[in-house]
Amino acid sequence: MRRWQVPPAALVIAGLLAPVTFAATPVRTTPPPEASAAARAFDRGDYPQAIVLARQRLKALPRDTSARLVMARAEAALGHFENAYQAFRGVLALQPRNTDALYYLTILGGVLAEGEYDRLFAQAPESPRAHQLRGDLHVAQERPAEAEAEYKAVLDAAPASVDALIALGDMTRHQSRFEDALAYYGRAAELAPQNYDVLYGIGVCRSYRQEYAPAIQSFREALRLDPTSAPARLALGHALLQSGQAAAAIPELETAAKLEPRMLQAQYLLGRAYRLVGRTPEAEATFARVQKLVQGQAAEAVDAMQSSDPLGQRKQAEPPPPPDKP
């Protein structure tokens, strides 16, 4: 008999028997618990211990999405839906396309809609918290127009909401609406100048606008806050490479590739940087890894894809609505 009794809805969210695979992390002098240790505790039904181990790891490595996913699923298994929701949301803030987080958050959204959040929507349907929640759920369901309307409603009631400003900045950035994104990030920066998400988002927008000098500055500031961020290392390496500093780009791209070995953009840009500085054997080895990642896709197609979206940021905007019939 298991020690912890779990609400039925939580069992659906937790996916109790689903194993999790984890990427290697850099060796540290006093290493935190491995994410796999939290996963083992989760798999044997020891959800409180899984949360403890995941939190210990996140204290040392706050951007470890594997540990954050285990913690979110364990919170859900215990019926702590608000904690689970915030943890899944944290995963998506780091990896907007994380399929596990999107899947569980979609299920969790259904549970919340039927449970305790019914009271919030009934008692205060126009409150900033209710709009924020609906916006987040629309993002998880890939409904950006509805999400944007909800986040804007948050700002109507609470103009100093950093969370809503960042959410709008991220959403418009992924749609290549860089002017809008910079406006939202700029407002957030006035309220939280040392926020990683704000600095990273500003840097990406500047980089896609080919404003590489300010982009480099933003990425360096973001990395001072989180040196283990593979996306920021990639983005800094790209900006350096595009501004003619291939030698300076190489260590940043090498670090990104070590942190996320399957990050296609890091491998591709690293191969380019090696080639530019004359390190031909390393370039060939790196492009061989690229071919494995793209599973034999034609080199011309890979070049075109990486040239159009070097940081893997863009999402297609929703098509415009059809014109009204006369």
Tell me if 249 sits within 8 A of 241, measured CB to CB.
yes
The confidence score (pLDDT) of residue 11 equals 43
**Residue type for 191, please?**
L
Rounded CA-CA distance 318/326 in Å is 24
Q: For 143-169, what is the mean pLDDT?
A: 94
Is the pLDDT at 199 greater than 90? The verdict is: yes
Residue 88 gets which letter from DSSP? H
Q: Give the CA angle between residues 126, 132, 133 to the nearest 5°.
A: 95
The confidence score (pLDDT) of residue 113 equals 63
Residue 96 gets which letter from DSSP? T
Average pLDDT, the chain: 83
The confidence score (pLDDT) of residue 137 equals 78
Q: For 153-165, what is the mean pLDDT?
A: 95
Is the pLDDT at 144 greater than 50? The verdict is: yes
Q: For the chain, give every domain's residue range.
A: 1-20+31-124, 134-193, 212-311
What CATH number belongs to 1-20+31-124? 1.25.40.10
* Predicted confidence (pLDDT) per residue in 4-49, tens digit: 444 444 444 445 335 554 544 454 556 788 888 989 999 888 999 9
Is the pLDDT at 141 greater than 90? The verdict is: no
The confidence score (pLDDT) of residue 20 equals 52
Q: For 173-178, what is the mean pLDDT?
A: 93
**Residue type for 208, please?**
Y
Percentage of the chain surpassing pLDDT 90?
Answer: 49
Mutual angle of helices 128-140 and 162-174, in 10-degree steps: 30
Q: For 210-219, what is the mean pLDDT?
A: 97
The confidence score (pLDDT) of residue 284 equals 95
The confidence score (pLDDT) of residue 314 equals 62
Rounded CA-CA distance 185/92 in Å is 18
Is the pLDDT at 170 greater than 60? The verdict is: yes
Q: For 210-229, what is the mean pLDDT?
A: 96
Is the pLDDT at 297 greater than 90? The verdict is: no
Is the pLDDT at 318 greater than 60? The verdict is: no
Rounded CA-CA distance 202/240 in Å is 16
Is 3.40.50.300 the CATH classification of the domain at 134-193? no
Is the pLDDT at 316 greater than 70? The verdict is: no
* Number of other residues whose CB lies within 10 A of the CB of residue 320: 6
The confidence score (pLDDT) of residue 106 equals 79
The confidence score (pLDDT) of residue 30 equals 64
The confidence score (pLDDT) of residue 127 equals 87
Rounded CA-CA distance 233/300 in Å is 25
Which of 35 and 152 is assigned the larger pLDDT? 152
In this prediction, residue 299 has a pLDDT band, given cuts at 50, 70 and 90, of low
In this prediction, residue 239 has a pLDDT band, given cuts at 50, 70 and 90, of very high
- The CATH T-level fold of domain 212-311 is 1.25.40
Percentage of the chain surpassing pLDDT 70?
Answer: 80
The confidence score (pLDDT) of residue 220 equals 97
Q: For 143-155, what is the mean pLDDT?
A: 93
* Predicted confidence (pLDDT) per residue in 90-136, tens digit: 898 888 878 888 888 877 876 666 565 667 667 777 888 888 888 88
Fold match between domain 134-193 and domain 212-311: yes
The helices-and-strands tally (H runs, E runs) of the chain is 18, 0
